[in-house]
């Protein structure tokens, strides 16, 4: 006669915390800095909200910002800088790599 016995884990595995970096190409200085300040604060507050409440278990979010200075000639260097910072993240986090590579390809197509 078989009995249905629930098997409990004998040990709890510790989950390594993964950091996801969000690149923010924004205007911290220049004529639109006041308007973009509100957007940047909202992004920082959202990241803080998610981290404090652990809404994505095992993941900590962080934001890095490039100041475009409301100057279109800074957009491509800012994009390239953020893209370079994303490459180690893609190599470290294989789960995110397909998503990030897909987003980078879409961004390249849209910028062409």
The structural domain count of the chain equals: 1
Q: Is the pTM of this model over 0.85?
A: no
Better pLDDT: 102 or 76:
76
Nearest to 56 by CA among 24, 90, 18, 92: 18
pLDDT band at 8 (very low <50, low <70, confident <90, very high): low
In a domain, 107, yes or no: yes
Of the CA atoms within 13 Å of residue 75, those in its CB half-sphere come to 7
Residue 12 lies in a domain: no
Determine, yes or no, domain membership for 13.
Answer: no
Distances (CA, A) of 105 to 49, 85, 87, 100: 29, 16, 13, 9
Report d(CA 42, CA 44) in Å as an integer: 6
Q: In this predicted model, what pLDDT tens digit does every residue of 49-70 receive, in sequence order?
A: 999 999 888 889 888 899 999 9
- Position 95 confidence tier, pLDDT thresholds 50, 70, 90: very low
User: What CATH number is attached to the domain comprising 31?
Assistant: 3.40.50.2300
Range of the domain at 35: 19-111
pLDDT band for 94, please (50, 70, 90 cuts): very low
Tell me if residue 44 falls in helix, strand or coil. helix
């Amino acid at each position: 006669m078989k009995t249905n016995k629930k098997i409990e884990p004998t040990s709890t595995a510790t989950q390594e915390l993964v950091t996801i970096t969000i690149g923010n190409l924004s205007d911290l200085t220049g004529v639109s800095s006041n308007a973009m300040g509100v957007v940047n604060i909202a992004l920082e507050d959202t990241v803080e909200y998610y981290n404090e409440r652990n809404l994505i278990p095992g993941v900590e979010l962080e934001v890095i910002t490039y100041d475009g200075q409301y100057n279109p000639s800074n957009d491509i260097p800012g994009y390239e800088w953020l893209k370079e910072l994303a490459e180690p993240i893609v190599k470290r986090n294989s789960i995110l790599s397909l998503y990030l590579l897909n987003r980078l390809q879409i961004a390249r197509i849209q910028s062409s």
